[in-house]
Structure 1
């Protein structure tokens, strides 16, 4: 089991800074995913920045606005935790 995500900060350049409960911080670049059909809603920068959430201990974007896990775009927490840690002392 991976540490839970405790904070997510979306950035203007389609990256997301993710903070885990164990203190690890990572930067995830979703720009390469935006051409895939399931990620199309994230092309709307306003949606990308404002609809993110943490559901089931991972990063997700709430498509319906009601935290229904069946209507979210989420990223595998193993994928996120496997990223190289960044030095982010603003957390």
Structure 2
């Protein structure tokens, strides 16, 4: 299995309408629509709060995460599988269109 890429998120940004942009170490950028996970409830239900969704987003464990504890403890976060995030819709850099 050597030579296979293991997806590693290096930056995560909140997008419009409960979406997230993930920047990977290989240059790929994807957009993840979080609405289905949020509406399913469970651990993701706290992401329905716009303040928490945008204020707690970070990168922990090499993937998109939300810092639940406020101290960036990688065991106290809500995170997404990096392979799932990597397989999401590939997009161009949304920051390039900001003037």
Structure 2: runs of 5+ lacking an equivalent: none
1:78 aligned to 2:46?
Answer: no
Mapped to 1, the partners of 2:27 and 2:36 lie a distance apart of 26
Q: CA RMSD in A?
A: 1.6
State the match for 2:6 in structure 1.
2
Shift of 1:89: 6.3
Which shows bigger deviation, 80-89 or 26-35?
80-89
Q: Which has the larger radius of gyration?
A: 2
TM-score of the pair, normalised by structure 1: 0.88
Structure 1: runs of 5+ lacking an equivalent: none
Q: Deviations over 1:3-36 (max 9, x none)?
A: 3211111023100011111110000000011132
Superposition misfits of 4+ residues, deviation over 4 angstroms: none
